[in-house]
Structure 1
Amino acid sequence: MTKPYVRSDVAAFLAAGQASGALAINELPVAEARAAIRAMGQAMDLPPEPLAVVRDMACGSIPLRLYDARAARETGPLILFFHGGGFVFGDLDSHDSFCRFVAQRCDLPVLAVDYRLAPEHPFPAFAQDAEEVARWVAAGPDVLGHAPTGIVTCGDSAGGHMAILVAQRLGARPAQRPVLAQWAIYPFLGAGDDWPSFRDFGEGYMLTRAAMDWFDALCGKPEGEARYNLLLGPVPPTPLLIQTAALDPLRDPARHYADMARAAGARVVQIEAEGMIHGYVNMRAALSSAQQDVESLLAAGMALLAD
């Protein structure tokens, strides 16, 4: 492989990480790894924006958080957000700043989901929680304060997996309101590691192959399960936005899924962040150029909804 293009802020970030000598997350006990990821996220993300509505609620035992730039809303789409973290890390606070920004910039309510995590809750816990919340939202519960016209599924990494998974599940068995679009940010597809991007970027570019193997082991990695390997699932014609990072090992499976969605008749918008690494939506303070990638993502997502 020829030497890839790396943005200057990304190159400086990677060099600082290599110089730190810190243990990789997969070399730590899960509790310590979660604490390290939490501290890193707080240091690298932008401060949260104030919003008219930031309200915690629940779907059964699944914690949720509603964000809205408006104090009251009649109706319209709702963005259902699933956080990344390899199905092992993340919660309502890890992506709080990002969810606030999405709600403000898109002028749509955002409902974040605190799904169960591995290893305490291995597969299929996350898949069950994602579908349960989506169907609950589609039923228009009063606690939301308005009845959504439909759902936009959204998420990064493992959350991008769930954004696609929910579109697949509700495409195969429709809920009371439709999935209007799926916004998948550098999604994990669960499609194995036999891809050029895994070989090219599986070491030295933030997300490593060793970490992904660790996530798989903790989650259970069920073989041949369509709720884990999304390339085996029923690809719906739901409009799809996929944003990949050029230096991400997960890049190539996501590109392939975009091709599958086109073949299934979906309108597909595919954006690639050149010179960027995995995880940038939570690193907008550490990587100044990531903010433009997020802006591009949301502009494309809103255009896809308007089509």
Structure 2
Amino acid sequence: MATQPDTTDQNTPFVRPDVQACLTMMAAMEGPAMNEMTPEDARQAYLAMHMLADAEPIELAVTRDLTCPGPVGDIPLRFYDKQAERDKAGPAIVFVHGGGFVIGDLATHHSFCTLLADQLDLPLIAVDYRLAPENPFPAAAEDAIAAARWIAGSPEALGLDVTGLIPVGDSAGGNLAIVITQALTQSPAEVPVTAQMPIYPVVSTDRDWPSMQDFADGYVLTKEAMEWFDAAYQPDSESAHYNVLDQDHSQTPPTVLITTSLDPLRDQGRAYGAALLQAGITTSFYEAEGNVHDFIALRKLIPSSVHDCNAMIGRLNGILKGLEGLPNSGVPAE
């Protein structure tokens, strides 16, 4: 069971009141920690938490399950669209869920996907990649890249004329969003990667960041959980399909990068943002001060997370507006 952070210590970082209430509730819950469960039990617990803690999904004109070909079989997808039909070409969001490459699926991030599709008014395709430990590294990356390339081809199954891709994902999904971007800029798909939005991503196999120690326990994601995820996924520290921080960033498209101040992954996310800026990449950085990892799926328990979600979506929308009509942007002129 996670321990509650000590709020009497003058060195304790700022925690929003509604975040503190959530952490207090979680600390009081009985039962084993996620890293003490079997993967299947952890997946059920993760889904149950999201059903309890997340906002209600938004009704959209289209919410439809489908599949695309993958490296070892069909990859489940879920297609969202605010509009029943689109008569104009445009970019599409490729959403990749978080969960340490071990837990999470189309259901756990369903509500957030409806929010993205609604507020951006863009088609969104969520990818249900293979999970570890049954499918260790690089299975998740291979599935995410394959799905993105399929979407880029504007298949008849989608009924869309896709002009660009916008990879978006949280945590492990943030890593996979960057992996998609890097793979499709190095070996281009049929359409360009327009922009990307990694949300509190894991970008390195290094676990010695100060924030990993400072927020090791009591702030939703724990250091022990990260070690458990790593043991299951078994990432390769040298591979571009995981260690995205140490890769060439010079061809990265405009990026909205999200971190949270109370997150073991905070410092590596900041380092990724610094690497993008050093490479001269247009980067909009937003850190959710006083909030925790997984906040996009805790909007009912942490109401202030709604502001953070609106802020990040607003930043992505602003970047897309600025790209309208530019050559090779994937965003047609209005």
Pairwise same-fold verdict (TM > 0.5): yes
Aligned to 2:48: 39
1:223 aligns with one of 224, 229, 237: 237
Secondary structure, in 3 states, of the residue corresponding to 2:195? Answer: strand
Mapped partners of 2:27, 2:83: distance in 1: 43
Secondary structure, in 3 states, of the residue corresponding to 1:154? Answer: strand
Aligned to 1:247: 262
Could you say which structure has the higher helix fraction? 1
Matching of residue 76 in structure 1 with residue 90 in structure 2 = yes
Aligned to 1:151: 165
Aligned to 1:49: 58
Structure 1: which 5+ runs fail to align? none
Letter in 1 for 2:27: Q
Q: Which moved more, 1:196-205 or 1:177-186?
A: 196-205
Aligned to 1:260: 275
Equivalent pair of 1:149/1:177 in contact (CA under 8 Å): yes
Aligned to 1:23: 32
1:178 aligns with one of 185, 192, 195: 192
Shift of 1:217: 0.3
Mapped partners of 1:43, 1:154: distance in 2: 23
Matching of residue 10 in structure 1 with residue 19 in structure 2 = yes
Aligned to 1:62: 75
1:282 aligns with one of 297, 300, 316: 297
Mapped partners of 2:100, 2:181: distance in 1: 19
1:195 aligns with one of 205, 209, 216: 209
Mapped partners of 2:235, 2:142: distance in 1: 15
Equivalent pair of 2:109/2:297 in contact (CA under 8 Å): yes
Structure 2: which 5+ runs fail to align? 1-9, 323-334
Q: Provide Cα deviations, 1:265-297, integer angstroms capped at 9, x if missing partner.
A: 210000000000000111111111101100001
1:294 aligns with one of 303, 309, 314: 309
Give me the identity figure in percent. Answer: 45
Q: Provide Cα deviations, 1:84-132, integer angstroms capped at 9, x if missing partner.
A: 0000111111111110111111111110000000011100001101111
Q: Which moved more, 1:220-229 or 1:170-179?
A: 220-229
Q: How many residue pairs were aligned?
A: 307
Mapped partners of 2:283, 2:119: distance in 1: 22
Equivalent pair of 1:155/1:183 in contact (CA under 8 Å): yes
Q: Provide Cα deviations, 1:182-220, integer angstroms capped at 9, x if missing partner.
A: 101111113311111111111111100000000000001
Mapped partners of 1:172, 1:293: distance in 2: 32
Letter in 1 for 2:142: Q
Secondary structure, in 3 states, of the residue corresponding to 1:170? Answer: helix
Secondary structure, in 3 states, of the residue corresponding to 2:310? Answer: helix
Secondary structure, in 3 states, of the residue corresponding to 1:218? Answer: helix
Equivalent pair of 1:140/1:146 in contact (CA under 8 Å): yes
Mapped partners of 2:151, 2:248: distance in 1: 22
Letter in 2 for 1:298: I
Mapped partners of 1:175, 1:78: distance in 2: 14
Equivalent pair of 1:245/1:275 in contact (CA under 8 Å): yes
Equivalent pair of 1:9/1:288 in contact (CA under 8 Å): yes
Shift of 1:147: 1.2
Mapped partners of 2:42, 2:23: distance in 1: 19
Mapped partners of 2:132, 2:204: distance in 1: 15
Mapped partners of 2:191, 2:310: distance in 1: 28
Aligned to 1:303: 318
Equivalent pair of 2:205/2:237 in contact (CA under 8 Å): no
Mapped partners of 1:114, 1:52: distance in 2: 21
Letter in 2 for 1:208: T
Shift of 1:135: 1.0
RMSD between aligned residues = 1.1
Equivalent pair of 2:204/2:237 in contact (CA under 8 Å): no
Shift of 1:145: 0.9
Matching of residue 90 in structure 1 with residue 104 in structure 2 = yes
Aligned to 1:271: 286
